[in-house]
Amino acid sequence: MKVLDIALKDMLRSFRSTFALVMMFVVPLMVTGIMYFAFGGLGGDGGGFDLPVTRVQVVNLDQPALHSGFSAGQILVEFLQNEQLADLLEVTEGADETSARAAVDDQEAGVAVIIPPDFTAAVTAPEGSATITLYQDPTLTLGPDIVKGLLSQFVDGFAGTRIAVGVVTEQLSKRGVEIDAGLTQDVVMQYAAWAETLGQSQSGGAHPALDIQPPSSETEPSNQGAGMIGAIMAGMMIFFTFFTGASTAETIIREDEEGTLARLFTTPTPRVVILGGKFTAVFVTLIVQVIVLIFASAIIFHIRWGGPLPVALVTLGLVVSATGLGVLLMSLLKSTRQTGPVMGGVLTLTGMAGGLFTTGFQNLPAAYETITLFTPHGWAMRGWKAALAGGGAGDVLLPAAVTLGMGIVFFVAGALVFRKRFA
């Protein structure tokens, strides 16, 4: 009972502190709100999320003369100019590679796409290879990433063509039939026509290389942005949960300095109960913080966090790891003069190492992804991303278990240090 009395007293003090409330609830939502606003979320129709249009200059150097009637380069240009991409891309054709690169350098275009002369030959030959050059404005991230994704999708589509040509060639060769260029061309054209028909039937008339999903509800247009905002919000929530964990655990040091901890030790209350009460306060405060942030962000930013069970599992892992790290961190410090700089430094570093501030970036180096695995933040982020993507309990089990395990190890170590200090 005394454990709860101490926990409630600590929570009452925390929730009366304007600074604590701002850091717990306002700042994470505000930072996410700034991102939301920066990406046009507040300016779009119906509060949706609008990506900025990326200007693309395409230079088609493809020379399909030897394969009359079929030009993979031209198909790619038309694909990029597809009207369904008009909200994302503004595509113009450039005369040559030099002028296209100059357009990017002068910021007249965000991305230049250079289709090589042997593109058609490469996509139709079984062992063919060609490189599409993508030259981008280094200050942009989202637009070039979208173009890169579309090009990858397009080129992948032609892999099927190659396989078809390979299979036909092998089968006919077994029957002693010689394959000439005309026959290869026929196979390519027939496969392309079939793929296009199939794609149109599956995607409501869109180009087969495009995976444009129709909206399923009124809020659907914001899904792509909401996904990104969800990841940003998750990053902020994780960072500030760890901050609150350390900040609430700091009350042990503050009470030691204020003399109230010593006074508590003069009451007929075992020391383990006193420390247990203070640890409980950290845990419950973090639970409240995460729940409030989840509901508030769902209302404000329309973030769909996922099913109740995966969200509960990831929340548990996050809260336990933030409690554990907070207790461990504070157990190693002697005075509140140390806590501010150490808390700021350690939590920012671990947050960065855990990938909390790079949630909007794609294709991060593999080494960086590996580093994130060494921090509870990184695992928590994995858990939330899985939950945000609609994953089930099985998908979040590993990150939740790892954060839980890390948290328990941190907590036990911190509690032992505190126990020794106040023995």
Chain residues binding other proteins by CB under 8 A are 1-2, 5, 9, 12-13, 16-17, 258-260, 262-270
Q: DSSP per residue over 183-241, as a string?
A: HHHHHHHHHHHHHHHHHHHHHTTS-TT---PPPSSTTGGGHHHHHHHHHHHHHHHHHHH
At 342 the three-state DSSP class reads helix
Residue 15 CB, nearest approach to other proteins (Å): 10
Which tokens belong to 164? 């078809």
Nearer to other proteins, 265 or 361 (CB): 265
Nearer to other proteins, 9 or 304 (CB): 9
Nearer to other proteins, 182 or 421 (CB): 421
Residue 402 CB, nearest approach to other proteins (Å): 37
Q: DSSP per residue over 81-128, as a string?
A: T-GGGTTTEEEEE-SSHHHHHHHHHTTS-SEEEEE-TTHHHHHHSTT-
How open is the CA angle 368-348-386, to the nearest 5 degrees? 55
Nearer to other proteins, 24 or 100 (CB): 24
Residue 285 CB, nearest approach to other proteins (Å): 15
Distance of CA 287 to the CA centre of its chain: 23
Q: Which residues of 95-112 are buried (b: 16+ CB within 10 A; e: fewer)?
A: eebeebbebbeeeebbbb
Which tokens belong to 253? 């040091």
Residue 316 CB, nearest approach to other proteins (Å): 29
Residue 267 CB, nearest approach to other proteins (Å): 4
Nearer to other proteins, 65 or 423 (CB): 423
At 358 the three-state DSSP class reads coil
Which tokens belong to 38? 């920066």
> For residue 124, how many other CB atoms are within 10 A of its CB?
24
Distances (CA, A) of 328 to 66, 194, 258: 70, 62, 21
Nearer to other proteins, 270 or 392 (CB): 270
Residue 336 CB, nearest approach to other proteins (Å): 14
Residue 246 CB, nearest approach to other proteins (Å): 19
Residue 261 CB, nearest approach to other proteins (Å): 9
Residue 17 CB, nearest approach to other proteins (Å): 7
Nearer to other proteins, 72 or 261 (CB): 261
Nearer to other proteins, 3 or 316 (CB): 3
Question: What counts of helices (H) and strands (E) characterise the chain?
Answer: 16, 4
Single-letter code of the amino acid located at 375: T
> Per DSSP, what are the bridge partners of residue 57?
92, 112
Q: Are 359 and 230 in contact (CB under 8 A)?
A: no
CA distance 217 to 279: 44
Residue 7 CB, nearest approach to other proteins (Å): 11
Residue 252 CB, nearest approach to other proteins (Å): 14
Single-letter code of the amino acid located at 114: I
Nearer to other proteins, 17 or 370 (CB): 17
| Rg for the chain, CA atoms, rounded | 28
Nearer to other proteins, 270 or 344 (CB): 270
Nearer to other proteins, 249 or 325 (CB): 249
Residues 302, 308, 313, 315, CA torsion sign: positive
CA distance 131 to 64: 16
